[in-house]
Chain A
Amino acid sequence: MIVNKIKIEDAEFDYEIKDNTIFLDNNSFKIEILKRFANDYYELLVNGKKLIFGFKKSNNNIIINYKNRTFEAELIDNFTLMKKQMTQMTSNASSKTTVKAPMPGLVIKINKEVNEKVQKGDTILVIEAMKMENAIKSPKDGILSSIKVSNGISVAKNDILFEVE
C-alpha cells in the first residue's frame, strides 16, 4: 500500500497531488506561489484566497509559520514510516532525556549535582537572558546523569545543558 500522509499538530490527512492541486479528505486546494521572501516566507493563493505562509525544511524537519504561530509538520510516506519504526525500536533502549538551552544566555546558577536524584519540575539550573532569570527544570523524575555546562559560561540556543535518566 502506498502511504502519503501529512501531520500537523493533532491532525493527520491522506493526500494526493495532481497538477497544482492538492487533494485532502475529498477537499481540493488549488495553490499558486505569488512571491517568495528571504527563503522561508511565501505569499500564496489558495483557492483564490491570499495567504502568507512560512515554510522551512532542514533535513526531514518541516517548520511552518502561519499568523505569527509556528508549527511542526510531518510528511509520512512508506520510506519515512519504515525509518521511523526503526528509530523507535532503537530509542526505546535508552530512556535518557536531553535538555537543551531554550535560548542563548548565561548560566548563572547550578542547583543540582551529577548523579543526584531529581524530580520533574525541579530547577536544575538558571540561565540569564534578556535581563531575566529563567529556571531550567527537569522534564521528568530520575537521575541527573550529566551536566554539560558550568557556572558563568554562555550557552547558545539548543546547546545541551544536562541529561536526566
Chain B
Amino acid sequence: MIKRILVANRGEIAIRVMRAAREMGIETVAIYHEVDKLSYYLSFADLAVEIKGNTPKAAYLDIDQIISIAKNQNCDAIHPGYGFLSENPDFSEACKRNDIIFIGPRAQSIRAMGNKTQARKIMFDAGVPIVPGTLEPITDIGHGKKIADEIGYPVLLKASAGGGGKGMRIVRSQSEFVENFEAAQREALNSFGDSSIYIEKLIENAKHIEIQLIADTHYNYVHLGERDCSVQRRHQKLIEECPSTVLDDELRQKMGQVALNAARAVDYVNAGTVEFLFDNDKNFYFLEMNTRLQVEHPVTEMVTGVDLVREQISIAMGNPLSFKQSDIQWNGHAIECRINAEDPYNDFMPDIGKILYYNEPQGNGIRLDSGVTFNSEVTMYFDPMIAKLIVYAKTRDLAISKMLRALDEYLIGGIKTNIPFHQAVLNSEEFRSGSYNTNFLVTKFNFDKLPKLSDQEKQILSALTVYLNENYKPHCNLDIIESKKNGSNWKQFHLNYRRIF
C-alpha cells in the first residue's frame, strides 16, 4: 500500500501526479527550491519541503537530499515525473535501497534504454527495426567524422545519454561537422554529464510516431496506441495528436506489438514509450524508449479513457493492470499544444517574467494541465514549457476547431508565449491535411502566417492606446494590500480600487 508520495518534480507534471494521488486518497509531499517558493504546484501538495542546491536545477537533481526528505516525511513512494531524475537509474536504485517504492521502471531497464547505443544493440537483437548508424558511443571528433563520412550525409548527432532534443544536431555536409559535434558534446555534457555522442543516418521527411505502453509486475504488457509528435522545432515536440492520420488499425497493432517486444527485452515495468521514425513508405525504425511518463501522455488518456498516472501508482503498489489489451479502444481525436514561454515572432527566444493577466480556456472537450496561474513567475532556471492545452472531439477536424477556439480564449499577459504559433500551425494546410512530417517547421511552415493584425484591429488598438495614454496612471499599488497585515484589509482594498479607476 502507498499512503504518501513524494513528487520529485515541479510545475504542471507535479500537479498532474498530486491530482491523481488525491483521487486515490494518497497524500503528497512536494519539494521546492527557493526560486519555486511561490510556485503554483506547491498548493496541490499536502506538504512542501525546501531543497537546496548550487543552482535550482541541481537541487531537483540531488538524489541524497530528496531520498532523505522522503524518509523524514515517511513517504513510501516517489514519483519522478518527467525530466530531472525520471530517467536516472541511480535514483531508482537509491529508492530501492531505502525501501521507498520508485513509481517507474526498474533501474536495469532505465539503464539499458538510457544508454542509446546499448539500447540500439538490444533492440537490434530483439528484432526491433533500427536506423542505420553507430552501435558504439563516440567521444573522439576525428573518429566521429570518419563514421559520418561512411554513413553518408546528412547525419544526426545525438547525446548518448540524451533525450528531449538536448545535444542533438543535424549535419548536412562534412564542413559543418566539427562545429556541430562540439556543440552537441557541450550540450550533452551540460545536460546529462556525459559528452559521448552517437551518429546515425538522418531519415528525412519522416514522421515521429511513438507507442505508449504500460506493464505491471505480473508480466502483463498492454500498448495504448500511438501519438503523432511530428510538429517539432529543434527536436522539441510542440504539438501531439492521437490517432495519427497515417496509421490504420492493422499497422497500429503491428507497431504496438513491436513496442511491447522492445519493452519485454528490457523487463520493463510501469508506463513507457517507444519512439519510432516513420517514413513515407510506412517503414518504422526504433528511435529510443522513454522510460517514464511523457509530457504528451494526456492525448492517449483522452482517446483511451485510461488514467495513466493512476495506473502507474497502482502498478507500483503491485496491482495487476486494471485492463487487458482487448479492453483498449481508441475513440475520437485528441490534440495537445505545448504552451511555451517563448516568442514566436523572434526566433522562439525564451521569455521570462511575471504573469500579469491570465485567462484559461474552458468548456466542452478542453483539458488544461498548467503549472502556472495569475501572478506566477516564469524564471530562466527551468524548461520554457508552462502548460499543456489538450482538446478532445469526435473527429480530427472538430478537434482542430476546438483547439483554435481554446487558444483564442487562452490569454497570458506579461510574458510572451507561443500561442500565436500554434494558431498559425493549426490553420496551415499542411497540418490540416495530416501529411506533415518532422521537417514541417523547417521546410513547409511559413512563419509569415503567424497571426497579424487586421486593419480593423490596428484601428481599435490605436484608439485604445490613445485612450489609455490620456487616462494613464502609472501606479495602482496593489502591493499595499499584501504589505498591510494589521487591521481590516477590506477597507484598504476598497481604497486601492478607488485609486485605480
Contacts and interface: CB of A to CB of B under 8 A. Distances in A.
B58 interface: no
B461 A68 contact: no
B101 to A, nearest CB: 29
Residue from A55, A66, A132 whose CB has the most chain B CB atoms within 10 Å: A132
B69 interface: no
Interface in B325-384: 345-346, 349-352, 354, 356-357, 359, 375, 380, 382-384
A119 interface: no
A11 B458 contact: yes
Given A31-B463, A68-B411, A130-B350, A52 B357 contact: yes
Q: Could you say which interface size class chain B belongs to?
A: 35 or more
B501 A33 contact: yes
Interface stretch (B183-191, B206-214, B272-280, B487-495): B183-191
Contacts of B470: 17
Contacts of B464: 29, 31, 44, 46, 51, 53, 55, 64
A105 B468 contact: no
A51 B457 CA distance: 11
Nearest to A49: B460
A20 B414 CA distance: 27
Given A36-B501, A39-B356, A129-B380, A22 B461 contact: no
A24 B455 CA distance: 12
B412 interface: yes
Given A13-B462, A51-B460, A73-B462, A68 B380 contact: no
B466 A75 contact: yes
Contacts of A11: 453, 455, 458-459, 462
Contacts of A54: 356-357, 413-414
B322 interface: no
B397 to A, nearest CB: 23
A39 B462 contact: no
B380 A22 contact: no
B462 A6 contact: yes
B500 A131 contact: no
A22 B356 contact: no
A44 B230 CA distance: 40
Contacts, number: 162
B420 A29 contact: no
Contacts of A68: 410-412, 416-417, 419-420
B65 interface: no
B376 to A, nearest CB: 12
Given A31-B463, A103-B380, A133-B187, A38 B356 contact: yes
A15 to B, nearest CB: 5
A73 B416 CA distance: 17
A79 interface: no
A131 B356 contact: no
Interface in B397-420: 408, 410-414, 416-417, 419-420
21 contacts: A8-B458, A9-B453, A9-B458, A17-B470, A36-B501, A38-B356, A39-B475, A40-B357, A51-B460, A51-B464, A52-B411, A55-B465, A57-B472, A57-B474, A66-B457, A103-B351, A105-B380, A130-B382, A131-B383, A132-B350, A134-B349
Interface of B: 166, 183, 186-187, 190-191, 234, 345-346, 349-352, 354, 356-357, 359, 375, 380, 382-384, 408, 410-414, 416-417, 419-420, 451, 453, 455, 457-472, 474-476, 478, 500-501
Interface of A: 6, 8-9, 11, 13, 15, 17, 20, 22, 24-25, 27, 29, 31, 33, 36-42, 44, 46, 51-55, 57, 62, 64-71, 73, 75, 102-105, 108-109, 126, 128-134, 157
